Amino acid sequence: MNFFITGVAGFIGFHLSRKILSMGHRVIGVDNVNDYYDVRLKKARLKRLKDFSHFDFHKIDIAKQREMKRLERILAKTDYAIHLAAQAGVRYSFENPDAYIHSNITGQISFLETCNRIPQLRHVIYASSSSVYGSNVKQPFSVKDKVENPKSLYGATKIIGEIIASNYSERYKMPTTGFRFFTVYGPWGRPDMAAYIFTKKIIEGKTIEVFNHGKMKRDFTFIDDIVDGIIQYIQKISSEKRSKIDHKVYNLGNNKSEKLNDFILVIENTLDIRAKKKFLPLQPGDVEKTFADVRESSRDFNFSPKTTIKEGIPKFIHWYRDYHKA
């Protein structure tokens, strides 16, 4: 099969592309390789993907239709399009809102416009986020819940992205599916995420900032479980004679809300170093708790996350020490 994947230099995009390539499929990958975080990490991911002969990379800003149109001939035989390029980060959305409009809204439209011109495309998959649930009180978060009160511009752009996908699905008879990811961590993870920040500072003997006085809870989800879930969904829809022409969203989370203090404790125990902690109030845009209801994902494509933080964090730290020679 032929896959068109955006955001291949990113955390999830890299892992998913590597898995699909290892299964023998072809991947046409795009990424703008921006400097939101260390470009060297993105280039190191790309280097590993380029080891596969059936990986074809193009450095492109997906929000620019003129650049995307250059790919149309190459994409003509694409079976599945997976959109993982985005401007991530809750707090950064307060500092640079334009980046989120450009990548997450204009980019979503540009991607779907491109998909609409691929003649044999079977299905479109895109990344959403648990941030769409915002200030919702009911737990666990269900895809049946209303998403009307995002706590950040990032969350708002993800809600708009889902609305845009739903519109394209209805208007152009384009099957689309969005995955709401919950706090993904693991090897090759982003430097702005908790596992990376805490590990780096603890090793360096620096003080870590623990917000909401440590009372935060997150549905920490290991990257392999996320990738397995997406692959299982692709296998399910590829077994169907024809994808249903509709728009769906699913939660992909660990189905377990963990205390931030417990997450930190596993990092400390794995490193065998006690962290210096500074407890602070809840930050603007943050929520106290996330918790994924994955019943629909389990029912429809047998999604079953298996990795506990006691299993996943040591795998991340092993990669971190190897990558940074720490």
Spans of all domains in the chain = 2-182+223-255+287-306
Q: Catalytic residue, from 80, 154, 196, 250: name it.
A: 154
Helix (H) or strand (E) segment spanning residue 160: helix 153-172
Tokens of 205: 């003997």
**What's the rounded mean pLDDT across residues 261-269?**
97
What integer best gives the mean pLDDT of the chain?
Answer: 95
**What's the rounded mean pLDDT across residues 260-274?**
97
CA–CA dist 235, 262 (Å, integer): 35
Architecture of domain 2-182+223-255+287-306: 3-Layer(aba) Sandwich (3.40)
- Furthest C-alpha separation in the chain: 57
* pLDDT for the residue 283: 86
CA distances from 78 to 27, 37, 121, 157, 301 (A): 9, 30, 6, 27, 23
**What's the rounded mean pLDDT across residues 239-245?**
74
* pLDDT for the residue 46: 98
**What's the rounded mean pLDDT across residues 243-249?**
83
Name the range with the highest mean pLDDT among 49-63, 242-256, 281-295: 49-63
Closest CA to 285 of 158, 141, 155, 198: 155
* pLDDT for the residue 309: 98
**What's the rounded mean pLDDT across residues 88-94?**
83
Whether 326 shows a pLDDT value over 80: the answer reads: no
Q: How confident is the model at residue 57 (pLDDT cuts 50, 70, 90)?
A: very high
CA 324 to centroid of chain Cα atoms = 23
* pLDDT for the residue 219: 98
Is residue 185 flagged as an active site residue?
no
Name the range with the highest mean pLDDT among 73-77, 87-91, 182-186: 182-186
**What's the rounded mean pLDDT across residues 106-117?**
96
pLDDT over 70, % of the chain: 99
Query: Phi and psi for 107 in degrees, rounded to 5?
Result: -65, -40
* pLDDT for the residue 157: 96
* pLDDT for the residue 274: 97
**What's the rounded mean pLDDT across residues 143-159?**
94
Q: How confident is the model at residue 242 (pLDDT cuts 50, 70, 90)?
A: low
In this predicted model, what pLDDT tens digit does every residue of 168-193 receive, in sequence order? 999 999 999 999 999 999 999 999 99
More confident residue, 290 or 214: 290
Q: For 37-43, which contacts have Cβ atoms below 8 Å and span 24 or more sequence positions?
A: 37/190, 37/191, 37/192, 38/191, 41/188, 41/191, 42/9, 42/10, 43/9
Amino acid making up residue 168: Y
* pLDDT for the residue 93: 85
Whether 243 shows a pLDDT value over 80: the answer reads: no
* pLDDT for the residue 104: 96
* pLDDT for the residue 245: 75
Whether 203 shows a pLDDT value over 70: the answer reads: yes
